Amino acid sequence: MRKKALFVVLDGCPVSYIKKENTPYLYSLMSKHGCRLWSSQTFASQVEIFTGLKPYRTDTFVDWFYSPETSPYRIFRPFLNNIALSKRDKTRNLILKCMTLYGGHRIDPLNIPSYLLPNFDFNRSMFSYYRSQVYRLPPHLFHTLDAYGIDPVMLHFAELDTLGHVYSPRSREVKDYMKMADHKIRQLLKKADYRLTVILSDHGMVEITDYVDLWESLSQLNLMLGRDYSVFLNSPMARFWVHTEKSRNNLINFLSELGHGHIISDKEKVERSLPQSKKFGEIIFWMDRGVHISPDFYHFKKLKGMHGYLKPEAVPFIIPGYSLKDGYLADVTPTILDALDLPIGERDGKSLIR
Ligand SMILES: [Zn+2]
């Protein structure tokens, strides 16, 4: 009979969520069999976790990038008027339906202003990753598990991320949810008989202390969005592509004086294993820890928690029965394969088993 490996994923759980008083079971597991992982600054941390490869190797960083030639929305270019960054309406849902029928992928236009949509494409490397997870293809960890007769079972505490965003990481709602998760995990692990159990988180959650309305500030510039430059507003960073030389200087001056963040250098991208390609942004302005761009292309409401800041945040990684040393997200897959005595293959990470 095939064996099973259990993956318990606490979505958006920094190490600081695990406390002796509130989550006694996870606290005791963490002290005996856990370690801290330094979370990557990409928005695709699961790729790093389940492939053991750094973002520059998998070309995963953010979901959208600048590519007017390949944008699935380019066919709508003549129809998309100057619609401002406004609340999601019926038109936007109609665009999504047309897109799904036309492209075969459900690529949500989010709240990207309509006249900018034909400039952006969805990162196909993310589709490749999702395919590798569903069909158990390399370099996904599940491919190796499947090949050696082990079926992965995933328990995903997804609401934790939403609670952190909406109520803040220090809220009563987050504490209560963690208490519940601690209890459920204890019950589950008592009864279950898995070949291996893994408990981990994909990224942390930082309390928001300041908001910047970048959209409004950009509209004050003597530049025309879409003609002089394009911008994509993620929550903790803004990515720019310049179309005229004057806009490059204007934007750099504007961002340098804005405060609350800085333009990241190529050296910083290398240090964080991020892809260098300009398709992800010719100028990337990363907000300081706790500063949230509001509104952005994902949210209109002001959030109270956010992740994806440049300064790394530690997340828990626990394998009951093993002793682990601290590491990085890319070390998860090699560690699990090592624990199961399976070949690690070509990965960027290394096993953390002591
Ligand atoms: Zn989130």
Residues 29 and 106 in one domain: no
Centroid of ligand 1 to alpha carbon of 165 (angstroms): 7
Residue 348: inside a domain: no
To 5 degrees, how large is the angle CA 95–CA 67–CA 272?
Answer: 115
Residue 275: inside a domain: yes
Q: What is the DSSP letter of 171?
A: S
What proportions of the chain, in percent to the nearest 5, are helix, strand and coil? 40, 20, 40
**Contact between residue 350 and residue 331 where contact means Cβ atoms under 8 Å apart:** yes
Residue 297 structure tokens:
């292309």
Residues 296 and 215 in one domain: yes
Centroid of ligand 1 to alpha carbon of 81 (angstroms): 31
Residues 215 and 320 in one domain: no
Q: What is the pLDDT of residue 227?
A: 87
Centroid of ligand 1 to alpha carbon of 62 (angstroms): 13
Q: What is the DSSP letter of 8?
A: E
Q: What is the pLDDT of residue 226?
A: 85
Q: How far apart are CA 159 and CA 231, in angstroms?
A: 30
Residue 216: inside a domain: yes
Centroid of ligand 1 to alpha carbon of 171 (angstroms): 16
Centroid of ligand 1 to alpha carbon of 236 (angstroms): 11
Q: Which of 353, 344, 352, 354 is nearest to 51 (CA)?
A: 344
Q: What is the pLDDT of residue 300?
A: 82
Cα 231 from chain centroid? 19
Centroid of ligand 1 to alpha carbon of 23 (angstroms): 21
Q: Which of 87, 102, 122 is the last residue of a domain?
A: 122
Centroid of ligand 1 to alpha carbon of 161 (angstroms): 5
What does each C-alpha distance from 2 to 5, 139, 333, 341 come to in angstroms?
Answer: 10, 21, 20, 16
Residues 52 and 168 in one domain: yes
Question: What pTM, to 2 d.p., does this model score?
Answer: 0.92
Residue 89: inside a domain: yes
Pairing of strands 229-233, 237-242: antiparallel
Centroid of ligand 1 to alpha carbon of 158 (angstroms): 9
Q: What is the pLDDT of residue 96?
A: 66
Residues 116 and 142 in one domain: no
Domain that holds residue 330: 3-59+129-206+311-339
Residue 151: inside a domain: yes
Query: How many domains are contained in the chain?
Result: 3
Q: How far apart are CA 120 and CA 123, in angstroms?
A: 9
Centroid of ligand 1 to alpha carbon of 269 (angstroms): 22
Centroid of ligand 1 to alpha carbon of 202 (angstroms): 10
Residue 199: inside a domain: yes
Residue 177: inside a domain: yes
Centroid of ligand 1 to alpha carbon of 250 (angstroms): 32
Residues 221 and 278 in one domain: yes
Residues 163 and 292 in one domain: no
Residues 277 and 333 in one domain: no
Centroid of ligand 1 to alpha carbon of 186 (angstroms): 25
Residues 54 and 142 in one domain: yes
Centroid of ligand 1 to alpha carbon of 237 (angstroms): 14
Q: What is the pLDDT of residue 203?
A: 95
Residue 297: inside a domain: yes
Q: Which residues of 121-159 are buried (b: 16+ CB within 10 A; e: fewer)?
A: bbbebbeebeebbeebeebbbbbbbbeeebebeeeebee
Residues 148 and 286 in one domain: no
Segments in the chain below pLDDT 70: 79-93, 95-107
CATH number for position 240 = 3.30.1360.110
Residues 246 and 278 in one domain: yes
Residues 289 and 180 in one domain: no
Q: What is the pLDDT of residue 102?
A: 62
